[in-house]
Amino acid sequence: MEELLPLYLVTNRYDFSDDIFLNIIREACQSGVSMVQLREKKATTRRFYELASTVKKITDDYSIPLIINDRIDICLAVDAAGVHIGDDELPVDVTRQLIGPDKWLGVSSKTVAASLAAEKNGADYLGVGAIFPTSTKKNAEEVSIDTLKQITRETTIPVVAIGGINTTNLSILADSGISGISLVSDIMLAESVKQKTKMLRGVINRDILKKGIADHDDK
């Protein structure tokens, strides 16, 4: 699944209307996002389900996996590609049992020990951070670049860097061994979602993953 992780969009509702929110996701999918995680911390279960169903139609149109943040029930209800959990959710091995062997399981991690345990217990990929201060999780403990590199060396599953990453600090992650970057505001709040997404994907491919810049045409 490593090829699906280069530019990983985690959504944030902010104060967007549904139409604007969904259009941002659509434009990001058109322009180079490789995976979408739907994150809804305040929505009711019914609201989350309805929104996830609509978002999945968009991601399916572009053959992009949809990951549901935390909510195993929503993941299963809409048949999303997988679920991403933090360290305050169900244990990794229990989550794996509930979602089965075929859905992807992402796990947030801040230490080498936690990363190794997550891999052992069934995680498919790790979200490591916060690498930089982030407004999305204001009290998030930061993870050093050295720790990030150690995690990528000592685990065998893909690692995505998360937390406060944007175009101004992206280059710091070069040679860290990561498989991708997870972004929220740099895409969700971009003046031009298409332009920003294409630019980010190009920089990630060239400077982080050390491969040619892919073209991303609108469908």
Task: Tell me if 152 is assigned to a ligand binding site.
Answer: no
Task: Tell me if 108 is assigned to a ligand binding site.
Answer: yes
Task: Tell me if 115 is assigned to a ligand binding site.
Answer: no
Task: Tell me if 195 is assigned to a ligand binding site.
Answer: no
If one counts every other C-beta atom within 10 angstroms of the C-beta of residue 77, the result is 15
Task: Tell me if 185 is assigned to a ligand binding site.
Answer: yes
The closest alpha carbon to 182, from 13, 2, 59, 11, belongs to: 11
CA 142 from chain centre, in angstroms, equals 17
Task: Tell me if 40 is assigned to a ligand binding site.
Answer: yes
Task: Tell me if 184 is assigned to a ligand binding site.
Answer: yes
CA 78 from chain centre, in angstroms, equals 18
Task: Tell me if 41 is assigned to a ligand binding site.
Answer: yes
Task: Tell me if 30 is assigned to a ligand binding site.
Answer: no
Task: Tell me if 136 is assigned to a ligand binding site.
Answer: yes
Could you report how far apart the first and last alpha carbons of the chain are, in Å? 23
Task: Tell me if 127 is assigned to a ligand binding site.
Answer: no
Task: Tell me if 211 is assigned to a ligand binding site.
Answer: no
Task: Tell me if 170 is assigned to a ligand binding site.
Answer: no
Task: Tell me if 134 is assigned to a ligand binding site.
Answer: yes
DSSP per-residue string spanning 208-219: IS-SPPPP----
Task: Specify binding-site residues for Mg(2+).
Answer: 70, 89
Task: Specify binding-site residues.
Answer: 37-41, 69-70, 89, 108, 134-137, 164, 184-185
